[in-house]
């Protein structure tokens, strides 16, 4: 199986480019890695590189998708467990998939701390990955509360990864303790948001109705200004 995977990676320029960037990130500062360096390490032409990825950030997004696939393929949710335990397991599977790249990720995380604009751009990729982690745990991420869950989880995940990078214990006890704390904190925050959303729902519906009435009234004024008759309702003579 390992030989098959290596052969697959060797024949896939995109995979070789991802591998090249990760290898270089384990050796030097991220800012010092050029596109030419990556192409040379991956043994691809710049034309093939451009066809595969437009930037180093896009390569990192490709790496994130690789981790997503590995984590999602590693196992399904235990439906007998509660949601927090299912999400805990899903996120630990992500860390397991990331383990072979720890040294490279140490530098990439340091680079993101040095470059807030890059960190903001990477946030979208992190949120998309965590959307699938929530789905694998059977947790909804739709709507306003879902968006808040995702962004809150992205911030929590960043803190957990920071602990994981420095956790030298084989059983990752510090990482698991931090992940458990973050999920408990997030659970309380989500409960508050969902409670507020339920409380605000009738007011939101009323506001939508008022907006619709306002649009109809403005349309009627515009019709009169144009000298048009108002549309007749069904059954009118």
Q: Is 167 left (phi over 0), alpha (psi -120 to 50) or beta?
A: beta
Of 202, 204, 193, residue with least CA distance to 149? 193
pLDDT at 237: 47
Domains in the chain: how many in total?
1
Residue 49 lies in a domain: no
Residue 29 lies in a domain: no
Structure tokens that stand for 68 in this block: 């997503």
Does the pLDDT at position 38 exceed 90? yes
> Can you tell me the distance from the alpha carbon of 105 to that of 149, in angstroms, rounded to the nearest whole number?
24
Residue 126 lies in a domain: yes
The length of the chain in residues reads 237
CB 157 within 8 A of CB 91: yes
pLDDT at 220: 67
CB 21 within 8 A of CB 56: yes
Span 42-80, pLDDT tens digits: 999 999 999 999 999 999 999 999 999 999 998 766 666
What mean pLDDT is reported for the chain? 83
Residue 42 lies in a domain: no
Residue 11 lies in a domain: no
Span 110-151, pLDDT tens digits: 999 999 999 999 999 999 999 999 999 988 888 877 888 899
In a 13 Å sphere around the CA of 148, the CA atoms on its Cβ side amount to 14
Residue 191 lies in a domain: yes
Instruction: State which residues form the domain around 139.
Output: 78-220
Of 23, 56, 20, residue with least CA distance to 39? 20
Residue 171 lies in a domain: yes
> What is this structure's pTM?
0.74
């Amino acid at each position: 199986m390992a030989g098959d995977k290596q052969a697959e990676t060797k024949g896939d320029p995109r995979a070789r480019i991802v591998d090249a960037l990760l290898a270089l990130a384990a050796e030097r500062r991220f800012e010092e890695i050029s596109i030419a360096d990556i192409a040379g390490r991956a043994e691809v032409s710049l034309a093939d590189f451009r066809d595969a990825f437009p930037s180093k950030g896009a390569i990192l997004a490709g790496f994130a998708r690789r981790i997503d696939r590995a984590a999602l393929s590693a196992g399904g949710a235990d439906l007998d467990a509660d949601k927090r335990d299912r999400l805990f397991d899903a996120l630990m599977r992500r860390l397991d998939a990331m383990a072979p790249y720890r040294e490279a990720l140490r530098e990439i995380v340091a680079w993101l701390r040095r470059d807030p604009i890059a960190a903001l751009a990477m946030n979208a990729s992190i949120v998309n990955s965590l959307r699938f982690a929530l789905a694998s745990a059977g947790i909804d991420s739709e709507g306003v509360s879902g968006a808040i869950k995702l962004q809150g989880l992205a911030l929590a995940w960043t803190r957990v990864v920071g602990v994981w990078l420095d956790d030298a214990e084989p059983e990752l006890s510090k990482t698991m303790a931090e992940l458990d704390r973050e999920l408990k904190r997030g659970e309380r925050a989500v409960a508050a948001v969902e409670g507020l959303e339920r409380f605000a729902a009738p007011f939101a519906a009323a506001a939508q109705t008022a907006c619709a009435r306002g649009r109809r009234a403005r349309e009627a004024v515009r019709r009169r200004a144009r000298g048009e008759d108002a549309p007749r309702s069904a059954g009118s003579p």
